[in-house]
Each structure stands twice: as structure tokens, then as C-alpha cells.
């Protein structure tokens, strides 16, 4: 299973002394891009072709506080995908292996004008073949 | 009803040309603090007494893109509150009055050691009296 | 003189309990856009015409810590401007009137391809007339 | 020489299509912490002992735009250090080896009450021995 590693940064902490709850959205995004890269899908390349996986919903549940300098791991799973819609699930683990955040993001494929679109068939096939069957 | 006004900032945009989806978490937080202030509840004062409304879940659904320099309005509603747990609902409107984001945050009261706690009775009463009955 | 007012946000604080030093760059940007608007210059309109004031240098000196929920004021001054290059000076004051941050940003006008350019004559004249002579 | 590697993130870009100029402050901070770790200095440990390297000045000059998904390298150098004051210099390189950002941060040692302080002698010696003589 794919893990995106992230060192919790000083600027991510707030005056409670823990990582601010907004940080998870950025961790999810970075983990998603690296997850795709890991399976041979270049998100930048998809964008260069004129398509975006626009985020239409994001959800995070915070189970335990996360502290400065912890090395966390973000597990990513592509739960649903049909070329038009995608859902990713995430689980963030701290160094002790405890689950600290759980969440998901939902996406719609859009074109450069931000209108609903569909990924080209070759990219859809590549994602189905490389991710959905292996992960 | 209370509205928190926010000008969409340049640094909030991303290369798609719209406000990045992570921004909503910060809009919700600012709107929440100003909503409480509007009803006479000083969040900083609550913190200074040793209590926090730790975020345990955040959810946002993005209905329409939001653009640089738009003046958006965040509606806040305290949906549930019992001194230990709180849920806030949010609706973000653009200048045309269209709903662009909907979401919620769930909170647990914690003390300075991040352990579950309960707000002092006088603060609970004040919130019940000033917000739950009027908003 | 123009002041941009900003409430220091929870997410801007770090585990030292003060506003993180990166926040000033965003305060400067917001203050700059509002300063221009105050003098009738619409930064978004300039962008829509294909020009940007790309930041080529930013500097901040932190004289005193800034705390959560403080209402700070950012003074802006257009120190130099010739249609190709601009320098803005900033001074951030806390509620007591103490200077907490000083700094500047330097800008070059670029076009949509990020190449050095020059603002159209009518915008140059408007900035010279409305800002340089009055501020 | 030490290099901190960073993948430019989607949320770091702005509507100009490049990394927003505020990002460099965070790159510098991350690079500084990893630079110290590389030389055996645990910044979190210093904080846990009650000391901070409070930032008193930050400067960045942007020589070339930085794009989404580029893998940049941040060179760090401890230019001055005497246990009370420190200055770090930074140079950011893109994948082609071009210098894209140059800058520095200046720091004063403070204690938990944010008052000027001095690092303990053992930490000073360790930094002098491990960094100043080797880097």
C-alpha cells in the first residue's frame, strides 16, 4: 500500500501546540498527487492536457492531535473512479502507528473553463489498469 | 442572521484561477470566531480560561468556484451545543447571492492538556442565552 | 494615510503562541491590494488586462510579537513607481499603536507570459495622479 | 553541502500559475530545521528546553518563477551564530540548477516568555563544532 510521508512543520502548528486542523487538506492533496505518481499517473501532465480533478467535497475527522516534527504517513486509496467522478479515501498515521486523521475527497473532472468534462480514454484506462486493479 | 464578510485573496487562488479548496477551512474558522464575538462570546477569553473548542471534524462541499477579489459572505449557525460538544453549520455566498460552499465543523471542548473537558457553567449559560435562543 | 485593518487569526498563530512570521507576506499583499483600491486602482482589473505586479523581493523585520485576535493596522506607501518597477513600504501597528513589523516589497510589471512589460499609459497616469501625489 | 528537497505543491501556486511568493518563507523554515537535523541539532529538542530561534528578519529575492510539481533544492548556510543571534543564508535551485530564490533569515534566541535569552553552552558548542566548522 502507498504511504506519503510528511514531516509536521512548525508553521502548521497553532497556539494549542498542535498541527492546525486545516493542514489535513494540504496533506491529502500532496498524498493524492504522490499516490498518482507512484502508480505512473502524472497529475501535472493531466493538467497540461486541459483537465482537472476539481475537489467538490472534502472531509476530515481528527482522532488524535498531531505534533511538531512528527513524521506522519498518509495512506491513500482510490475508492471510486469512472473518468468523470473520483473519490479518494485517506488515513493519516503517526510514528506510533496510531490513526490520527481519517477523511476523503470527492472530485469531478473539469476542463480549462471549469465545466464538467471526462478524462481521455487512454488516461482512464491507465488509471483503471494501474491503480484500481493493484491498490 | 450573522454574516462574516471576506475578500478572496490573491494567495488563496491556485493555478486553476480559483480559490483553493483548502481556503474554506480558514473561512469557517474566522467566521466562527466572529459569529461568537457578534453574540458577545469572546473566544480568546475562553482560551485564556484554559478551554478550547478543538475541531474533531470538518466538512466542505464546493458548489461553485470562487474567484480572486470576490466579496463572499459566510453564514454561521450553531446547530448543536451542550457545553462538551458543538456543531456549527456554514453556508458561503458569493456577491450574486449564490451558495458556493456548504459545510460544518464538529468540536469537543478540551482543556490545556488537550483532554476532554466541559465549559464552565457561566459560559454555557451565556452561549445558550445569547446564541441558541436568538440565532 | 491609508490603513488596512486585519484581525490576527487562529490559524496564523504557531506553537510559540504568536503570529507565525510568514503571515506578514500575506498581510502586505492584502494591504497592497486594498491600498490600490482605496486610490481607485483595481488590481483585478489590471490583471484582467494582462499585467501583473510580480513580486521580486520581499522583506520583513519583526519588532514585537503579534498575538491571536489582535486588530492590527497595516500602513502602505508607494515609495517608487515608474510603470515598470514599483516599491511599496509597509508598517504594521498593533492596537497600542506600537510598530510590530516593518518591511517592503519590490515589483516588476510582467505580462501573461511572465515577461517584463510596462503598464499601459492610462494606468500609469492614474496611479501617478491618484497615489503618488496624494499619499 | 546540505540541500533540502521540496516538491512544489498545487496549493502553493496562485492564479499567475507559479508558486506564490509567500511560499519561500515556509521553504526556508523547513530547510533550516532539516539543515540543523542533518548536523545533529534537534530543533524540537531546543524548544523543549525552553528556547526558540525567533525570526526577527526575513528576506527573499525572486529571480525566476517556480512552477507546480518542480523538485526544488534549498541550500542553507549558517552565516553567523554566537548563541544569542543567528543568521541563515538560503539559495533555492530548480531542477535545471538555476537559482530561483535567494534570501536570509535573522534570529534572536528567546525563552518561553519571548524575552531575549542565550542558548545553553552545550548547545552552542555543539552548533559551533558540528555546523560552523563543517558547513
Q: Is residue C60's pLDDT more than 80?
A: yes
The answer on pLDDT for D92 being more than 70 is yes
Tell me whether residues B29 and A22 touch, CB distance under 8 A: yes
Q: Does B14 touch chain D (CB under 8 A)?
A: yes
Mutate to test the interface with D, among C44, C52, C58 (most CBs of D within 10 A): C58
Q: Where are the alpha helices (DSSP H) in chain A?
A: 23-38, 43-48, 121-127
Q: Is the dihedral of CA C6, D19, C18, B108 positive or negative?
A: positive
Given CB atoms, is D80 within the 8 Å cutoff of chain A? no
pLDDT band at D135 (very low <50, low <70, confident <90, very high): low
Say if the Cβ atoms of B22 and A26 lie within 8 Å: yes
- Could you report the predicted ipTM of this complex, rounded to two decimals? 0.95
Q: Tell me, yes or no, if B15 comes closer than 8 A to chain D by beta carbon.
A: yes
N- to C-terminal Cα distance for chain A? 7
Q: Report the residue from D18, D55, D62 with minimal CB separation from C57.
A: D62
| Strands ordered across the beta sheet of B85-93 | A3-7, A71-81, A85-93, A99-111, A51-62, B52-62, B99-110, B85-93, B71-81, B3-7
For residue D132, the model assigns a pLDDT of: 77
- Mean pLDDT for A48-55 is 97
Closest CA to B65 of B101, B40, B35: B101
Choose among B91, B96, B101, B105: nearest CA to B63: B101
State the total domains in chain C: 1
Please give the residue of chain B at the shortest CA–CA distance from A63. B56
- Looking at residue A53, its pLDDT comes to 97
Residue A135 has pLDDT above 80, yes or no: no
Determine, for residues C62 and D55 on separate chains, whether the beta-carbon distance falls below 8 Å: yes
pLDDT bucket at A130, cuts 50 / 70 / 90: confident
* Residue C132 pLDDT class (50, 70, 90 cuts): confident
Distance, CA of D79 to CA of D59 (rounded, Å) = 14
The answer to whether B64 contacts chain A (CB < 8 Å) is no
Beta strands in D8-131 (DSSP E): 52-62, 71-81, 85-93, 99-110
Contact between C21 and C27 under an 8 Å Cβ cutoff? The reply is: no
Which of B87, B62, B59, B92 is closest to B75 using CA atoms? B92
> What are the pLDDT digits (tens) for A102-112?
999 999 999 99
Which chains neighbour D (Cβ–Cβ under 8 Å, 3 or more pairs)? A, B, C
Q: Which residue of B has its CA nearest to A65?
A: B114
Residues of chain A positioned with their CB less than 8 A from the CB of C13 = 14-15
Cell for C104?
517592503
Nearest CA in chain D to A54: D10
Output the pLDDT for position B117.
Answer: 98
- Nearest-Cα distance to chain B for A24, in Å, is 9
Per-residue confidence (pLDDT) for residue B2, from 0 to 100:
87
- Cell digits of residue A75: 495512506
End-to-end CA separation in angstroms for chain C: 6
**CA nearest A45 in D: which residue?**
D69
Mean pLDDT of D90-112: 98
- Cα Rg, chain A, nearest whole Å: 16
Alpha carbon distance A31, A4 (integer Å): 5
Whole-number pLDDT of residue D1:
79
Q: What is the pLDDT of residue D134?
A: 62
B contacts of C43 (beta carbons < 8 Å): 69
Query: D3-23, pLDDT tens digit by residue?
Result: 999 999 999 999 999 999 999
Say which CATH number the domain at A21 has: 3.10.129.10
Q: Sign of torsion, CA B40 B46 B51 B53? A: positive
Q: What pLDDT band is residue B68 in, cutting at 50, 70 and 90?
A: very high
Cβ pair C116, C124 in contact under 8 A = no
Would you call C62 an interface residue with chain D, using a CB distance cutoff of 8 Å? Answer: yes
**In the predicted model, is pLDDT for residue B135 greater than 60?**
no
Tell if the CB–CB gap between C62 and D59 is shorter than 8 Å: no
Domain range for residue A15? 3-132
Is residue B109 predicted with pLDDT exceeding 60?
A: yes
Residue C28 Ramachandran class (φ > 0 left, ψ -120 to 50 alpha, else beta): alpha
Q: Which of D35, D7, D34 is nearest to D23 (CA)?
A: D7
Task: Write out pLDDT tens, residues C4-21.
Answer: 999 999 999 999 999 999
Of A10, A33, A34, the CB nearest to D33: A10
Amino acid at each position: 500500500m502507498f504511504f506519503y510521508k510528511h514531516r509536521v512543520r512548525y508553521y502548521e502548528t497553532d497556539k494549542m501546540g498542535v498541527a492546525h486542523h486545516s493542514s489535513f487538506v494540504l496533506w491529502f492533496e500532496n498524498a493524492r498527487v504522490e499516490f498518482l505518481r507512484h502508480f505512473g499517473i502524472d497529475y501535472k501532465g493531466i493538467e497540461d492536457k486541459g483537465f482537472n480533478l476539481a475537489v467538490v467535497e472534502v472531509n476530515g475527522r481528527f482522532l488524535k492531535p498531531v505534533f511538531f516534527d512528527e513524521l506522519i504517513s498518509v495512506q491513500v486509496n482510490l475508492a471510486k473512479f469512472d473518468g468523470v467522478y473520483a473519490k479518494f479515501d485517506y488515513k493519516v498515521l503517526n510514528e506510533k502507528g496510531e490513526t490520527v486523521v481519517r477523511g476523503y475527497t470527492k472530485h469531478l473532472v473539469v476542463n480549462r473553463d471549469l465545466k464538467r468534462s471526462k478524462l481521455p480514454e487512454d488516461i482512464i484506462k491507465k488509471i483503471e489498469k494501474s491503480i484500481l486493479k493493484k491498490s
